[in-house]
Amino acid sequence: MDWSLWIGLGLFSLATGVASYYLYALVVRTRKEFRALQPDVRITNLSAMNSGNVLTLFPEFENVGGGVAHNCQLHMGGWDGNFAVKKVYPRGARIQKQRASIVLGPEAPIRAQPISNGYLRLRYLDRWGHKYDCWYQVTQIKNMALPLYNIQIDLDHPEVNTPILSFWEIRKLLRAADHED
């Protein structure tokens, strides 16, 4: 074998290694920039008030991400209503916590009968119109004094559904965002 073949192979390996390192760094930096612009709305506090047969839940939610959340909706299975907010701003000068009111009377299905899969869903969009869902598990607990169920919501373990985008889609969205700003 000729030394020039080994030297050429070594230089090719070195160039490939350096190029893959810089490509990896570009991908990581692009994904990090995109994550910084994504909203992340979560229920941060939940209080309840019981008045006779009526249970009222007050979930408080805020945007802990970096981008503005649009068309935020709160819905609970077994509750015939919803709560909507046009925009939820991230932490900063315009932050404000949103507080919903979920009134569950004795005729509400989630209080009157057992439900196999109770949930509280928080749905919102990012600036590009991608849909995000945050699901909280709702457990029914039998009330011994009344023939109704009380509600317990697990805020510590939400199931979050975020859009799955390729590197090229993310890069295109970031370029469009740079042109808008």
Domains in the chain: boundaries: 3-36+167-180, 40-161
Is the per-residue pLDDT at 66 higher than 80? yes
CB 152 within 8 A of CB 138: yes
Confidence at 130, pLDDT banded by 50, 70, 90: very high
Between 82 and 1, name the one with better pLDDT.
82
Q: Can you give the pTM of this predicted structure?
A: 0.82
Domain covering 40-161 in this structure, CATH number: 2.60.40
Mean of pLDDT values over 100-114: 87
Out of 68-82, 88-102, 120-134, which region has the weakest mean confidence (pLDDT)?
Answer: 88-102
Is the per-residue pLDDT at 147 higher than 90? no
Confidence at 93, pLDDT banded by 50, 70, 90: low
Is the per-residue pLDDT at 94 higher than 70? no
Cβ neighbors of 43 (< 8 A, separation 6 or more) are 59, 60, 61, 120, 122, 134, 136, 153, 155, 158
d(CA 168, CA 145): 58
d(CA 70, CA 125): 5
Would you state the structure tokens that stand for residue 6, as one six-digit string? Answer: 């080994």
pLDDT tens figures, 49-65: 988 888 899 999 899 88
